[in-house]
């Protein structure tokens, strides 16, 4: 995914959205550097992905396998795509393919942990590439 994320980081809609945490009031109020408040944000951002994986891959795939078999993956993808509405267009479309891949991994492994690692890796790469682009363009 890294080449696709790198390419996306040159697109304006991507740069308008990422990183989700922008410098602002926290740094001024606390007197902390941006990297410190950003690091705290990233920890909690990652924890949010744990809950996403439990809901979408854990509940919607693993819990529904006994009723829908492989169809549970498609139900999950439909709802997962909806979660990405309002994000950059490429990410919203990519969530259909990515959600399907993560659902298949969960279906066959019977575990959310592989999908969580992949999802976290993609999210953190998106923030990293966005920060690099913003720093190169002096947007921060």
Look over the chain and give the mean of its residue pLDDT values, rounded to a whole number: 93
pLDDT tops 60 at residue 140? no
How confident is the model over 39-64, as pLDDT tens digits? 999 999 999 999 999 999 999 999 99
Q: Which domain holds residue 19?
A: 2-136
pLDDT tops 70 at residue 139? no
82: pLDDT confidence band, cut at 50, 70 and 90? very high
Q: What is the CA radius of gyration of the chain?
A: 17
pLDDT given for residue 24 in this prediction: 83
pLDDT tops 90 at residue 28? no
Which phi-psi region, left, alpha or beta, contains residue 110 (left: φ > 0; alpha: ψ -120 to 50)?
left
Q: Is the pTM of this model over 0.85?
A: yes
Residue whose structure tokens are 């078999």: 69
- The three-state (H, E, C) secondary structure of the chain, written as one string: CHHHHHHHCCCHHHHHHCCCCCCCHHHHHHCCCHHHHHHHHHHHHHHHHHHHHHHHHHHHHHHCHHHHCCHHHHHHHHHHHHHCCCCCHHHHHHHHHHHHHHHHHHHHHCCCHHHHHHHHHHHHHHHHHHHHHHHHCCCC
Do the beta carbons of residue 21 and residue 41 sit within 8 Å?
Answer: yes
pLDDT given for residue 25 in this prediction: 81
23: pLDDT confidence band, cut at 50, 70 and 90? confident
pLDDT tops 80 at residue 138? no
How confident is the model over 116-134, as pLDDT tens digits? 999 999 999 999 999 999 8
Domain count, the chain: 1
pLDDT given for residue 43 in this prediction: 96
pLDDT tops 60 at residue 109? yes
């Amino acid at each position: 995914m890294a080449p696709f994320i790198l390419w996306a980081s040159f697109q304006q809609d991507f740069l308008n959205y990422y990183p989700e945490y922008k410098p602002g009031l926290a740094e001024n109020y606390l007197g902390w550097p941006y990297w410190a408040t950003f690091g705290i944000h990233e920890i909690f951002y990652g924890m949010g992905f744990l809950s996403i994986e439990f809901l979408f891959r854990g509940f919607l795939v693993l819990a529904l396998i006994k009723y829908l078999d492989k169809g549970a993956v498609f139900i999950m993808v439909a709802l997962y795509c909806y979660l990405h509405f309002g994000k950059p267009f490429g990410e919203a479309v990519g969530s259909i393919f990515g959600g399907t891949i993560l659902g298949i991994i969960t279906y066959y492994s019977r575990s959310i942990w592989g999908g969580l690692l992949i999802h976290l890796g993609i999210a953190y790469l998106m923030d990293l590439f966005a920060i690099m682009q913003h720093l190169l363009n002096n947007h921060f």
